[in-house]
Structure 1
């Protein structure tokens, strides 16, 4: 239900702390040679039960479920919403859980609007705007806006998408029907104006993961393998052991972040060979290839032959080479973009590794360090004593930087392409030429899933890290014995 106010403003965006005011761009008609002109309309809206049928399942991660708009309201065309989830075996988040904890307020005290947010949803939105956007660049981030929703809307959506969600996701989590707003943002898998015209758009979502090897002196001797083997490769061993994946991926994040054309191409080819949940491809907003949310049975939505047929309408290649040409297009685009350099810089805010940061975490929460208590050797205590003697401000900075880095390690890069006509001179998008098919494509790139990581996850990050290294070293030992 949309109620429009007769107000026009010249600013690019406006967000009311309550989430009840939404700024939506609209494009005035292009005719008789007039140039494209954008204005911004302030609109008041709420999504209610009758609106639920217009939103279709797009995918989900550990914390949020994503729905794409399939209706006809101009304000929502080319948009998606992200809805918060809660564990199925736990209670929904009530108001007491929607604000930051006392220690989280200490972390983000330099960003006053975050810690004074009335809900966690708005705090997360402001985190993207105030923390991640300055680090990664406003050209590659769309923070979105909060839109109020009714409980009936959320309950209806929960029922509507149940059969489309991966079974293991359904068992683990459900929509949080106690929230009063959702995040509305651009659907980066389509070009909104292209959707209206019926133009084809092919998009790829890449989850780069950690692009560097740690060198912290706080890494225990028995975990020294972390300094030589990527976290991604080691985690693959654990996922295979836990039957979360059926095949090991050859993807190496170091290749993707290398700045070498050949190594970037190698990385993209490896992602296409074993996409898991690290690569997904959308045709006009619909998933056609890649992971649908993890699990051994969801590593590929369609097989390679079917994908070849899907993209024939997009890539003008010879028979059997459409996929190869698209992989080349993606790799060349990633190589030419400068966004991965920025992402790597943010990832490297984690400069002492979780094995160091966990000690700063216990400093911040003013509790005895569980990790130190588990060490039996005096030399281990000496290794970390320096961390427990630093100031509170230093500890806060270490934990804050680690959590920002965790966001950068877990986000995705969405790149969308559409064929460009030679006579189209008005487009504001960048373009790239694919020599093998003699085609020029417009493209746009955005980071997505820039979530605010809860401070309490520090303990989980440490435990998972130890589990990953232990599983990988045991696998190496078994292979050696064979």
Structure 2
């Protein structure tokens, strides 16, 4: 693709699609052949000025230790390129090239006015808390251009509708690491997603709990997968969105939607009328079945789960390996009693550096897999297309007697900064403490109403 320059006048063609902690995602609505069917990712900068300074390259000196076996990452001159190459050379081999798109990196001379206008244009669509904490990084001179996975590329079915679901699966297993402290044993029986809901509710980031259980989605059971999709639909938050021909028709843009109201449900039911051949009131149920059947038959989450399980030590073990790498006194050990240190954590500070690097590297790769999104796009095959050859897989929806082509992609697989290990450790403590306190408070209140003394009750997520 020829070299392109994005000017101020081009900003109007890029609209807000969503964002993560580090990047804004914009979808293209203009007519340039170079960008039709593409999305753009622009890096953000923190308003508090806490962006990490990385010197001449994209990786810090300690990150270079972790990723020293990946020469292409070591040579990356900036963050955009290192993220692109990390997806291509690390995550793609682990998850399979069929389901991972590393994107096409374009070195463009982006005018500062373009970035300023983009920042201004998207502000009203972003969650208020995101706007307060970050903005478009005005110092960037390049962006990452990727395929828009909410649509199909030009194919044999011209003009046919395309519907795409975006799911954030989250962590699909319960940790069994022996480095989990006894007082945090709840992590072995309650999913991270469920515990995090308590903290988010406490911080007023959500207004009600979601019944979604990631263990259902990763279970390999048709019924449990369907149960998971139903729960995501009922309370999408920022974990479930649906696009029709590239336009959002269900779920929120930045902050998500807490729950599906009757009006939201009716609007979505109407949006499905040209995709799902069912009577009014039955289309949403059929769509949920379509998504669940595709997750089940594709087995796409099996490999994602294996990559997530590269976190074999849990953050409570990996954090000690992190301090070994940065050659600083372990701040975690300072807070622990001598007895706990002697039999559990002290040995971690005696392992070879190579072992510490392996532990942390596995944790960071797993963190990418736990935080990614799954995009599944569908388009119905008409009767005269059923015998035509296609490069896409197909799935049969029994409730409507329809056949759909589908494609699956993982997105948002960025490299996690090494420095974030400390953040992960502190967040883990907050999540467990908040959940434990919430459960205790609810039990005490329940027992007070029923006149029973409080006692510990074991709770499990497992069916």
* TM-score, normalized by the shorter chain, greater than 0.5: yes
Could you say if the C-alpha distance between residues 124 and 253 of structure 1 is closer, same or farther in structure 2, counting changes exceeding 3 Å?
same
Q: For 1:135, which of 84, 94, 116 is the aligned residue?
A: 94
Of 374, 389, 398, the match for 1:413? 374
Gapped regions of structure 1 (runs ≥ 5): 1-41
Are 1:55 and 2:14 matched, yes or no?
Answer: yes
2:307 aligned with 1:384? no
Alpha-carbon separation, structure 2, partners of 1:470 and 1:92: 28
CA distance in 1, matches of 2:258, 2:49: 26
Residues matched between the structures, number: 440
Bigger shift: residues 45-54 or 264-273: 45-54
For 1:294-373, what aligned pairs fall within 5 Å after superposition? 294=255, 303-373=264-334
Q: Taking structure 1 as reference, are residues 80 and 410 closer, same or farther at Cα in structure 2, changes over 3 Å only?
A: same
Match of 1:45 in 2: 4
**1:474 correspondence with 2:433:** no
Q: CA deviation at 1:162?
A: 1.8
Q: Secondary structure at the match of 1:380?
A: helix
Residue deviations 1:368-406 (CA, integer Å, cap 9, x gap)? 000000113423343101100000110011001100000
Deviation of 1:46 (Å)? 2.5
Contact 2:179 2:345 in 1 (8 A): yes
- Determine which structure has the larger strand proportion and give its number: 1
Out of 179, 186, 204, the residue aligned to residue 165 of structure 2 is: 204
Which stretch shows the higher mean deviation, 400-409 or 307-316? 307-316
1:265 has 2:230 as partner: no
Distance 1:159 1:196, change over 3 A: farther
| TM-score normalised by L of structure 2 | 0.91
Residue aligning to 1:23? none
Residue 273 to residue 298, structure 1, CA distance change in 2 (3 Å): closer
- Per the alignment, residue 428 of structure 1 pairs with 391
Partner of 2:451: none
- Secondary structure class of the residue paired with 2:2: strand
TM-aligned CA distance change 1:307 to 1:194, over 3 Å: farther
Q: How do 1:280-291 residues align onto structure 2 when only pairs under 5 Å count?
A: 280-291=241-252
2:130 corresponds in structure 1 to 169
User: Does the 8 Å contact 1:141/1:447 carry over to 2?
Assistant: yes
Would you say the 8 A contact 1:92–1:178 is kept in 2? Answer: no
**Matches of 1:341 and 1:253 in 2, distance apart?**
13
**Structure 2 vs 1, CA of residues 242 and 95 (structure 1 numbering), >3 Å: closer, same or farther?**
closer
Residue 432 of structure 2 corresponds to residue 457 of structure 1: no
In 2 relative to 1, CA 405–339 (structure 1 residues): closer, same or farther, beyond 3 Å?
A: same
Deviation at 1:338, TM superposition (A): 2.0
Report what 2:200 is aligned to.
239
Q: Which deviates further from its counterpart, 209-218 or 43-52?
A: 43-52
Q: SS of the counterpart of 1:324?
A: helix
- Structure 2 contact 54–60 (Cα < 8 Å) conserved: no
Query: How far is the alpha carbon of 1:439 from its aligned partner?
Result: 1.3
Report the 3-state secondary structure (helix = DSSP H, G, I; strand = E; otherwise coil) of the residue aligned with 1:312: coil
Change over 3 Å in CA distance of 1:93–1:50 after alignment to 2: farther
Structure number with the bigger relative contact order (C-alpha 8 A, sep ≥ 6) is 2
**Alpha-carbon contact 2:125-2:253 (below 8 Å) kept:** no
In the TM superposition, what is the alpha-carbon distance from 1:161 to its structure 2 partner?
1.5
TM-score of the aligned structures, taking structure 1 as reference length: 0.88
SS at match of 1:192: coil
Are positions 1:73 and 2:32 aligned together? yes
Tell me if 1:441 matches 2:404: yes
Q: Secondary structure at the match of 1:432?
A: strand
- Secondary structure, counterpart of 1:269 in structure 2: helix
CA RMSD in angstroms comes to 1.9
Gaps spanning 5+ residues in structure 2: where?
Answer: 446-463
Separation in 1 of the partners of 2:193 and 2:56? Answer: 32
The aligned counterpart of 1:113 is 72
Secondary structure of the residue aligned to 1:43 is coil
